[in-house]
Structure 1
Amino acid sequence: MVLYAFLLLLGISVAGGMESGIIGGKEAKPHSRPYMASIQLKNKHHTCGGMLIKENYVLTAAHCLNDAFCGPGHFEVVLGAHNITQDEKSQQRIPVIKCIQHTKFQPDNKRNYSYDIMLLKLKNRAKLNKFVKVMALPKKNGKTPANVKCSIAGWGLKTPKAVEGSNVLREVTLTLQENSECEEIWQHYFNSERMMCSVSDGKHAFCQGDSGSPLFCNTKPQGIASYTYDGNCANKTYPQVYVKISSFLLWIKEKIG
């Protein structure tokens, strides 16, 4: 059943990105998360979330964008947004000129999503202000204990059966689960060194993504939303999985300087 659920999940159109989706939760206070990025196709279609970590770099999940279509002219990042359907004065829309996927990420290898991390290089540097800010990464590779309350935000589905995503940024609080429990359920699809997970109470979750959005624990970005159970995002049995940011600090530093 575990393998079947995971294959269902990866059967989603990964090449085109996943629709973001916060299940439960509430609307975020406008511009309270100035590091948030909406990764969009040129037609302004939201595909994934991300986090501004340098004026010209956004951190997201590797499966969000197909590397073959990630050259100049296909994707752009919107910063400083609350309502992504409006041209807010706070927004900055910057083209993506390069996708830097982790070299060990293989989209066709279902066991290799522990390297589901990617950097987007922007054509221009973001102008930092009260609406757009860079988020500092963790300083070292440490363990975040289970049962800690964390939060994640995104533009997307309010319920698993919704057709269209939310226009405004929404956020939800989730609880971290023991890595040993995640390994027991997801088996070889979960790597405790490079992944972390949260458990849903059946009402709150991220859904079919919010892929690439950062998970915050104790005011620090700790994870990148990677995958969840596709049949029911708020499933209580199957933990939601994130790539552990602190495991990739050297890789990030090497790529962005």
Structure 2
Amino acid sequence: MCLYTFLLHLGISVAVGMESGITGGKEAKPHSRPYMASLQRNGHHTCGGMLIRHDYVLTSAHCLNDFSSRNHLLVVLGAHNISKQENSQQRIQVEKYIQHPMYDQNNKKDESHDIMLLKLKTKAKLNKFVKVMPLPKKNGKIPANVKCSIAGWGVKNPKDHRASSVLREVTLKLQFSFECKNKWQDYFSSERMICSVSDGKHAFCQGDSGSPLICNTTPLAIAAYTFYDDCTSRKYPELYVKISYFLPWIKKKIDENSIYD
């Protein structure tokens, strides 16, 4: 499992974990989130993702940062326990990686374009275990204090870097944008990002960036990063890339890459 960190200077040096898992949550009901994807390399879970069309998965752009060979990235759909070969699972290779053009892995101060489309080599077979998650219809205002949920196969404890075998989920509360800006300063874009606040026990953590944040059955954002080594920090809200902002780009790229399908 790769771990991507960088230094953040907000008066003090802070390391930020770019890959997120679930801390303080619970095991999800098997196959209750049929849109979830496990991105794997060499048989190991690396990132989360969401099936948005039978041939496209939405995830974080930084999930490619440490890959020496992109041919080893595999999308696993229909999974609950990724340590087993479940009959419900579909394992599909990636045909094309489409990172947002404004994303730059070397510019650690702007992670607000951390979004990527994966075009699958073969179409997913939709059934009760594998379903498409519809995207939000417009870029609307997202209120604070709304309770949302996120799921993933990442670490349960930030001090134990072993990924979870089963899908886990946690409920988190959205934070006011001005609070996110106050804490993260230039590292937070209120236009392209939202954040949630931890109660000191519940959070996403290292191991599953790219997992969708679901609010009232709608996927509002993609997990981006959190305070490294202290995922449950009350001081620094957890950050997400807002999906609705990127709807025009998502549609454009899918249309461009579907001309010859």
> TM-score under structure 2 normalisation?
0.91
- SS of residue in 1 equivalent to 2:163: coil
Q: Which has the higher strand share?
A: 2
Is 1:213 matched with 2:211?
Answer: yes
| Alignment deviations for residues 13-57 of structure 1 (CA, whole Å, 9 cap, x no partner) | x7xxx4x4200110000000000000001x211000000001111
One-letter amino acid matched to 2:52 = I
Out of 139, 144, 148, the position equivalent to 1:146 is 144
Q: Which has the higher helix share?
A: 1
How far apart, CA to CA, are the structure 2 residues paired with 1:68 and 1:176? 32
Aligned-residue offset at 1:144? 1.4
- SS of residue in 2 equivalent to 1:168: coil
Equivalent residue number for residue 186 of structure 1: 184
How far apart, CA to CA, are the structure 1 residues paired with 2:207 and 2:187? 17
Is 1:8 matched with 2:7?
Answer: no
One-letter amino acid matched to 1:86 = K
CA 1:46–1:124 in structure 2 vs 1: closer, same or farther (change >3 Å)? same
Equivalent residue number for residue 87 of structure 1: 85
Is 1:48 matched with 2:47?
Answer: yes
How far apart, CA to CA, are the structure 2 residues paired with 1:146 and 1:2? 25
How far apart, CA to CA, are the structure 1 residues paired with 2:43 and 2:122? 18
Aligned-residue offset at 1:110? 1.4
- SS of residue in 2 equivalent to 1:8: strand
- SS of residue in 2 equivalent to 1:113: coil
How far apart, CA to CA, are the structure 1 residues paired with 2:201 and 2:88? 32
Equivalent residue number for residue 59 of structure 2: 60
Aligned sequence identity (%): 66
Out of 193, 196, 210, the position equivalent to 1:195 is 193
How far apart, CA to CA, are the structure 2 residues paired with 1:92 and 1:6? 42
Aligned-residue offset at 1:69? 4.4
Aligned-residue offset at 1:161? 1.2
After alignment, is 201-210 or 47-56 more displaced? 201-210
How far apart, CA to CA, are the structure 1 residues paired with 2:186 and 2:67? 28
User: Is 2:159–2:229's contact at 8 Å kept on the other side of the alignment?
Assistant: no
Q: Unaligned 5+ residue runs, structure 1?
A: none
Out of 232, 243, 246, the position equivalent to 2:241 is 243
CA 1:247–1:70 in structure 2 vs 1: closer, same or farther (change >3 Å)? farther
Aligned-residue offset at 1:6? 7.2
Aligned-residue offset at 1:67? 8.5
How far apart, CA to CA, are the structure 2 residues paired with 1:83 and 1:75? 19
How far apart, CA to CA, are the structure 2 residues paired with 1:124 and 1:173? 33
User: Is 1:179–1:197's contact at 8 Å kept on the other side of the alignment?
Assistant: yes
Equivalent residue number for residue 24 of structure 1: 24
| Alignment deviations for residues 82-104 of structure 1 (CA, whole Å, 9 cap, x no partner) | 00000000000000121100000
User: Is 1:2–1:185's contact at 8 Å kept on the other side of the alignment?
Assistant: no
Q: Unaligned 5+ residue runs, structure 2?
A: 1-6, 256-261
After alignment, is 205-214 or 235-244 more displaced? 205-214
The residue correspondences of 1:113-124 to structure 2 (distance < 5 A) are 113-124=111-122
Equivalent residue number for residue 221 of structure 2: 223
- SS of residue in 2 equivalent to 1:32: coil
- SS of residue in 1 equivalent to 2:169: strand
Report the RMSD for the aligned CA atoms in angstroms: 1.7
User: Is 1:209–1:226's contact at 8 Å kept on the other side of the alignment?
Assistant: no
| Alignment deviations for residues 142-200 of structure 1 (CA, whole Å, 9 cap, x no partner) | 01100000000000211121131110000000000000000010000000000000000
